[in-house]
Amino acid sequence: MNRLTGKVALITGAGRGIGAAIADVFAREGAAVVLAELDLETAQRTAQEIETRHSARALAVQTDVTQSASVQHAVSEAEHAFGPLDILVNNAGINVFCDPLTMTDEDWRRCFAVDLDGVWNGCRAVLPGMVERGAGSIVNIASTHAFKIIPGCFPYPVAKHGVLGLTRALGIEYAPRNVRVNAIAPGYVETQLTHDWWNAQPDPAAAQQATLALQPMKRIGRPEEVAMTAVFLASDEAPFINASCITVDGGRSALYHD
């Protein structure tokens, strides 16, 4: 406990799922948290739950990560409420899975606007302050799609490969200023999006069982398991980890199968 005491963290896409879990665990560990979320009502509800559960400071700010001005506004609101940002978690993302030859230009732009431009917009908004203060930690939520390709998921893995490239490039660029940039690559995690996908299949129970059968641990991850990895990377326990990616997938990406 208290591994993030005194720190201020902004988490994008923090209204639900992995982002909400990160905000919750950060608050439990002592951080003041800002939930930057497109769905303000959901973010406000989550922030209130965090405040009640942990007697923590939590603020919800409506944020469209595809718009740099919106992200900068969230950073300004965070600093006005709690002080300079120590931590940024770029979590907001969407699944865009298409056939490459029938995908529309809009599908391509939508995927990259959120999954890659959104990460860059977050980094660009916080880096000047972090560089000036000579300290900061950025954690980008990538995916195992960043290094493993599954047919039928285009162009999502292209964007997530970009997130890893951005993480490494910025990590090296600002290492001399003591600003660390790292990534987490989750595998299958039990979020509402995962359940929505199962429920959209002809046989939801069979789809769920097929997913679980592919996992070495015969289960999928929990959002809080990704969140605890984010705590480690954001904390003072990881001062020499930079431009790196930690995989959180129960061993799935290491498994060879047909």
Specify burial of residue 52 (Cβ count, 10 A radius: 0-12, 13-18, 19+): exposed
Query: Please, which pLDDT band fits residue 1 given cuts at 50, 70 and 90?
Result: confident
Q: How confident is the model at residue 256 (pLDDT cuts 50, 70, 90)?
A: confident
Q: Identify the structural domains of the chain with CATH numbers, from first to last.
A: 8-189+222-249 (3.40.50.720)
Catalytic site residue 174? Answer: no
Mean pLDDT of 210-236: 96
Select which of 156, 174, 188, 256 is catalytic: 156
Report whether pLDDT(206) > 60: yes
Per-residue pLDDT averaged across 66-83, rounded? 98
The chain-wide mean pLDDT, for the chain, equals 96
For residues 179-193, average pLDDT: 95
pTM here? Answer: 0.96
pLDDT tens for residues 85-112?
999 999 999 999 999 999 999 999 999 9
**Residue-wise pLDDT tens digits, 40-50:** 999 999 999 99
Contact 227, 182 (CB under 8 A): no
End-to-end Cα, the chain, rounded Å: 42
Alpha carbon distance 99, 12 (integer Å) = 28
Instruction: Report the pLDDT value the prediction gives residue 197, as an integer from 0 to 100.
Output: 84
| Number of residues in the chain | 258
In the chain, what percentage of residues exceed pLDDT 70? 100
- Per-residue pLDDT at 201: 93
> How far apart (Å, rounded) are the C-alpha atoms in residues 45 and 22?
15
**CB-based contacts of 178: which residues, under 8 Å, 6+ apart?**
134, 135, 136
pLDDT band at 65 (very low <50, low <70, confident <90, very high): very high
